[in-house]
Structure 1
Amino acid sequence: MEIAPDPTSDLHWSEFRGAIHDIFAQNAKKHPERPCVIETASESSPRREFTYQHINEASNLLAHHLVQSGIQRGDVVMVYAYRGVDLVVAVMGVLKAGATFSVIDPAYPPDRQVIYLDVAKPRALVVIEKASQEAGPLSDTVRTFISENLSLKTEVPALILKDDGSLSGGLKDGKDVLAPQVPLKAELPGVVVGPDSNPTLSFTSGSEGRPKGVRGRHFSLTYYFPWMSERFNLTEKDKFTMLSGIAHDPIQRDIFTPLFLGAQLLVPAKDDIQHENLAEWMRRYGATVTHLTPAMGQILVGGASAQFPDLHHAFFVGDILIKRDCLALQRLAPNVQIVNMYGTTETQRAVSYYELPCRAQDPAYMNCMGDIIPAGKGMLDVQLLVVNRQDATKLCKQGEDGEIYVRAAGLAEGYLGAPELSEAKFVKNWFVDNNKWVEEDNKKVESSGVKEPWREIYFGPRDRLYRTGDLGRYTPDGNVECTGRADDQVKIRGFRIELGEINTHLTRHPLVRENITLVRRDKDEEPKLVSYVIPEFKKWEDWLKERGLEDHDEDDSMIGMLRRFRALRDDVREFLKGKLPSYAVPSVIIPLRKMPLNPNGKIDKPALPFPDITELEAAAPRRSSKSFASLTLTEQNLANIWGSLIPHVHARTIAPEDSFFDLGGHSILAQQMLSNVKRKFECSLNMAAFFRHPTLRGFAAQIDHVLNPAAIHPNAESVVPNSQGNEISYEEDYAGDAEKLIETLPKSFTSSELAQSLKSAKEPTVFLTGATGFLGAYLLKDLLSRSSPAVKVVALVRAKDDSAALERVRATCQAYNVWSSEWEAGRLQCVRGNLGSPNLGINQDTWDRLVNEVDVVIHNGAMVHWVLPYSNLKAANVQGTIDALRLCASGKPKQFAFVSSTATLESPHYAALSDRLVGEGKAGISEGDDLEGSRKGLGTGYGQTKWVSEYLVKEAGRRGLRGTIIRPSYVTGDSHAGVTNTDDFLVRFLKGSIQLDCRPDITNSVNTVPVDHVARIVASSAFFPPVTPLGVAQVTSHPRLTYNDFLGSLESYGYNVPKVDFPTWRDALEKYVANEGQNEKAQHALMPLYHFVTGDLPAETKSAELDDTNTRASLKADAQWTGVDASAGAAVTEDIMGVYIAYLVAVGFMPAPPTDKQARRQLPASKLTPEQREALSKVGGRGTL
């Protein structure tokens, strides 16, 4: 049985029910004396009641003023608003004028109000007098912006509906601005609007904090009300509530629903919208229907005891609705039927619904519900389509995760001033030809013989889908349940983390009533997971009593709450440790009395407090002085260093078994810590040593070993001092491990003369790892841009399912501006996997299919980390390579391409060999070198894993595998668009030199090759291996820049960075870092590499010259497929450096060159689309799989 909606069915595109203001006017004519809006009494204001005639005439008056002032159909009128009857008058008046209303909430800061005005560019302004009285007039900042940037046709300076129903607009030149239109108050202006006219401009969040303006359409403001009235038994006798944020689009539902039905609208006073008070207000005034956000619902039930049995329907919109909040509402409102409505600002009234029966009707119903209430099914002529993210031509089956698209005639028009973004989010329905609906509509008009006036401004039927970005799946009964956001991932210290997963687990903790988890940045701009929780206070008290603990009644300050709920924070953290990997457990848990809400009734994330160092330190547990005294002297000194660096940690609270990272440390602080250790103990330890021993006791033992190598240190692992005797290093026997791992390789490989078969293949299939990395994205572009023959790619991606895998690839490629929607038409398939798991984390059915379908394996994925030791990287980088090789050992014959690194050559042997070979007139290290020269001496775990992997791949070649090992060095940005990996050492070097106002004199060459050329080399070598059976293709620049050339390009483009000798530059860096906190300077870009760049950088950056004969041969052979002979190679030129710098400036990574300095060259333009900016904020640095 099909459970998904039919995406080809007719949704009645042209059945416009009329404009909401016309239907309201008809109701006013039928029932002029019926109560329409009631402002309920408060301590400072009396009850005020206004009839349908009052509101109708007042809004007519305002509408005539706007029309006579020159406002045209579609012009935006901005309303400086306040919750109350005046807002209803303003909204209906603007609509009757044929204009578009938008709202400024006085609660928003002036800078945000300016952004709204800048996006909306209104032609009129209506200021509600009560907004000015209660919140203050528009600020000078806003007024200045209006006068300098907007061309207003009119301003109504002080709109107020008086107690007798008369309307005043405020004075201008001693007269009320609305006085000339008073004789017209009984008449509509008669402006014709149609279903595609724009009545509303609502704002929703956008990239870089700039809101997007969503242009609503008249169609949806009335189309769904008759169905809702019948389905939910909504009548003219109902009393609705105005509880939504006045600038939040649900306020439209608050206002338009009762006005369409001829019902009443109750407006609470400001003091009533508070915990406990709101429930009493609902009871006192007999509200029967309410629209709530989940956050406003929590205010309604929080701490409340008053029951309000008159409430029969509560419609929830705007966020995830959880079972616990529904139960709390049902306890207070036993007759309420809760309806969870799923939609967005962009879908307007076109939403889905899931209805929960009232407790009186079915007391046990909630027992069978999960923690999160489903989104449900589409209401009248609305469809929720859960689309397969691998193949967008298919809808998901029951239980399959996909992306939710909303199909309806009532979608919004799009985003104001953002056509590209509108096109990306509001897409044509590819399941059916829209011409079908156009032809049917034309026939209908012809047969009726009547053409409505609005058809003159009607765009005709448009079968569109709104792409929500939400993930969901169909349940057996055809409802849709949301499973997360396609973009709800963050990356911290290289680990991808689902915030929704953390929140779900927190929801299940018995002592947590509300929660939200965010990524906040500390003073070092390091990301931290922070969970905010509202305790279940009664259960908390019972929990303490059960354990014989006292509740310390602290104040509600940050310190007070942290102290009072210290045991809760510990319990929550231990609870999460049992549910989540350690890196996903929030490092800070902050208890709050209540969540801050923005004016829209949603959690105000920017307002959530982040404790400073002193608050966290004051709330930290204290250990006795005896505990600290029991530490060794080294441990005490090390604890003092840790305590001086890690926020909220005091040295005397650190226990021997405490880990630096569990205490809140991170890689940046670790670099500073090592620098402090060097000064304090006069010995050097590298980062690898620290990652191995991150506890106080473990690392102190390593320090003791360096200071006294002959002593016995029971807590220290075996170490090998370097030639100076004061540097601790870990010389893992990676080569010995490689020899053991050979035994795990398949005995043979069946690689026939595959190149010949590939030449005749219509669509060779490539299995690719690392597609979500920087190089991986460009590899996808290179592979999928080929047409002779076309290439199909199966990409392995770490994700929770195949759909999420595709979303990760799409997001990465959009960030790097290489994505093409055509790829989803069958040529790109993404499979869930993990390099560190057996069989690459691929399920057996998929594995069996791949071994018989794949022609070429390109193993590009790896865990890139310049500090972690070999043992930490082995699973992903070595075992992952073995499993990728295993894929080639059975089924269809395959070629294999392994993306290695010149890190395998970073040993003294190859530096010396390179000098000798170049001195003999040769190009450099041969591609046929056996790498025995780096069997020992590689200094990084990453380089060691690549060496071992190469060793294993070469052995596979001897066993019959055909393929290529590709060795890139520095992969720089796109040579055309400038898109660059901002986490790259060289890019950080550029920014770091700007921060220091100087650059070091380093004459070494640097092997930089643009990513687009490196991707071409990898693809060419994969399809056309240069050596039988298996060889090496080295990537080198033609010609090479020197570091002086690379950094000197900054001066060419206008930066003030004179060249200085390296010791001078290093001194400047050390001084900068030492003074960062004191001078509030931005963290230095090279801080993550501080230990490296403050060493002997001129010696450390010397790299071997490389021969690339094989590479050039593959590029030349590939020309028969690509039509381009790229065998001459590529280099980073000064022109390309300009493209890179312009991009880095455009994304905000680097400042623009100073304007007061004469530049030898001007930076080229670098344009980023809004979609690219939004995607860039979500993609990780180097991470590949």
Structure 2
Amino acid sequence: MTYEEVDRITTNLACDWVEEGKCSGVVSYINHQSVNFLITLMAMVKSRAVLFAISPRNSEAAIADLLEKTQSKMLFVPSKYKIVAQNAVAKVEEANMTIIPPYDFESLLKKPLNPRYAKILDISFSKEDLEKEALIIHTSGTTGFPKPIYLSNRYLLNVAGTFSRYKEQNPRVDILCQEDVFFSPAPLFHVSGLLNLFTTIVAGASFVFVENPIPSQTEIDHAFRHNKCTVMGALPFTLEEMVTYLKEKNDFSTVRHLKYILVGGALLKHEIFLWFKKNNVAVRSVYGSTETGVSMLGNMELDAENVSSLRSIYYDCDDKSYIAFEKLSEGSIHMYIRAGSPNLAIGVSNRPDGGFSSNDLFEEDPDALGYYNYLGRRDDILVMKNGEKTNPIPMENTIRQSPMVKQVAILGEGQQCTAALIQINTEYSMDYSPEEIILNIHQAVEQANIECPSHSIILPQMVKIIPFNKFLPVNDKGSLKRKMTEKAYEDTLKKMYKDFMEGPSSAVSSNRDGGIISSSSWSSQQIQSFLIENVAKILRLPESDLHDTSLSVFDLGLNSLTSIQLRNIIAAHFGSLPQSFVFQHPSVLSMKEALMSNRFDDVSKLNEKRYKQTQELAKSYIERAEKDFSVATNEYAAGKKKGSISLNYVKSAFSKRSVPGPKTTKLGRLRSLLTKRKNAYEKKDNVVMLSGATGSLGAFILRDLLKDPTVKKVYCLVRGSESDLFGRLETSFAFRNLDLSLLNSERVEALPMKLAEPYLGLTKERYDQLKDEVTIVQHCAWLLDFNMTIDHYDKECISPFYNLLKFAYRRNNPMHVHFISSVSASASLGSVVKEVPLPFDSHVTAPMGYAHSKFVCEILLNYLTKEKNFPCYIERVGQVSGDSKSGIWNTTEQVPIMFVSGGSLMHKMPRLSSKVDW
């Protein structure tokens, strides 16, 4: 459609709606991004009603809340959203709903302009109209129900003039002109969607809509080709998907026709900006928010080097930017908008001077004066002991919905789990018994648990109702002062965590009538029923799912956090239990047997049992291998050098990165051995299959493989979503400051890691192709959990590895298999460990499932090498530390190593008040 046609259609619709009395006050509209949304928006603006654009992703309750907050009595919806809209409207007094069918554009285009439009519509505008409400959009509602934000005509005109303003400041740059075609999947209920549409209109350019509100990369490519698009507006996740798509297709013809891709809405990794730049695509940042409009743009010069940083585009009459920054104690800077900024929404000021604090963090671009890099939100994020992050705000909001709760604090920085301190609403709770109050509180906590990640759940033992005469400290706005709360309740929290981790020391049980009974009198069936009932409760599973009592509860979903919860429940009935009880007895059957025999405290007997299991498991794999593998003909062994590789990549990856364990030799012998072999490995058509490429060691091995000219191709087995496999490689490289350009090659390909499945989770054709093509298997991936037993490791690691060995085996010239083992597999051999195959005695290992699993694999590989002529190599590694250049290291591993090494070697300990982190 042309501008004239859109103008005529929307004017006619506005006239119809005004005459029908549908355009008074605030009119709400729910729809996804479409040309229908454009037509409705333009018609409603012409009617002079205030349109409230509501996202269709909102719940019924959220929509009803928004209607009430804005006093909107009319809701326009397409039939697609009829049900949710109907239910929402039913909750709002005097609210009505109008179904808008898809527009019949063929008929609308034939209809002439309403001759009475100038009398029906108010088309006179004055200076006073600038500050009037014209449009309402809402926040995302990440911490509760969305909040409506009122936008004035002035605000919208500034959004529309964003690129024009930039051109006034940079006359050489034309972001948009009449010949451009703008493709934007951003919805019109977001500022980014309004920016893309309105700037297109100002430039007189063309605008492309797609039918799918979240278009696939194939649909985007189709739109580019058929509409000759020159500018695109995108969210970060769209560009992340585009990188993968373009790499797979290896066809950049459509994106290279784009003058710009404008990205905003969230943080996009700097490496992706650089990747597009390398491929001659200009990706630039746009920063804005519902409250502040569009406030910053990237450097729009096409030859700019600072492709990801931003600068202000709004200045006052004294040429002073309306954007200001204030430094924070942690080193980053917080951005706020000064009072008087022309692009602030109505009534959003949250600073005493009338300005607006964005809650967004930036850092100065060291290479571009006046430009800033966006870092993310300044939120109350808790970093847990295991490195996981918890956002307590939504959880606190959910719990506070209970009328029993006056205030709540979710805490847990640096802890194993979260804890909740509850301040009771005494005025409301006076009419309830203590049992009813407690029940209500736990129901509110349970509702918060449903909505949060599994690592953030609040266990019943970690909920504390503070005394009625105490309170949780809040600021003038009623927001919790978290640090002050932690300090005020420090002793309470310490006791909560101590009791949780250590569990009850004595057993007290009661029957259904409240009488005290002894668990020592329970029958085998009673113990089993007790265990099944409580495992099912913790995992939120029906008890019928636990009919097979030999299943590992970890396979059913138990984790390290809920295992402590289960242990504490059992200990409350059976007395003190070791912290590793559930790990050592991971099934209902084994827990029942341990409780009946009362042998769980005998560590030496338990260790001996695991050693015996390990010995038997190693023997069983050798028996399997004897049948599954025949003796191979290995031409390399005969001196023909086929299918081998220089092992420099292993040597290089280990170099200056391993902290040797106290009972092993240094890696110098391994390096020496690899050097001796070097000259034998000269074939230049090696294809490597690498697992664990996103880990600390695997990432460096991948880097060195890609630097090795003898390597033709590397297939990386990666866990996770199949749409983000390559993205995980890029993230790993970026985190470790490795050269991302190495990944921009057809020599590396990411495959899903599904070793336990038939054909490794691949099609038979793909499996056979790789089996014929691959010459080297480097297996680094392994579960790192020192609590798990050999049973768990057999299922999760050893059995899948055996499948990988079957893949690597060929009767003629089998692949060369490299296995990353551990010094823990030989930890009991003494202070000096010879670099020879381990003796067939599991007692040489450290007493833990991780070490046992490595031992089993070493024994198996030694057998295959000696008896089946299958070339297998074992690289036995100690602690992998930060590399010698960037020092990047997993902070959960570096701290104990630094303390142990510092104490034993330097006889010094750090005096720090902050977290140990480099």
TM (normalized to structure 2)?
0.48
Structure with greater contact order relative to length (CA < 8 Å, sep ≥ 6): 1
TM (normalized to structure 1)?
0.38
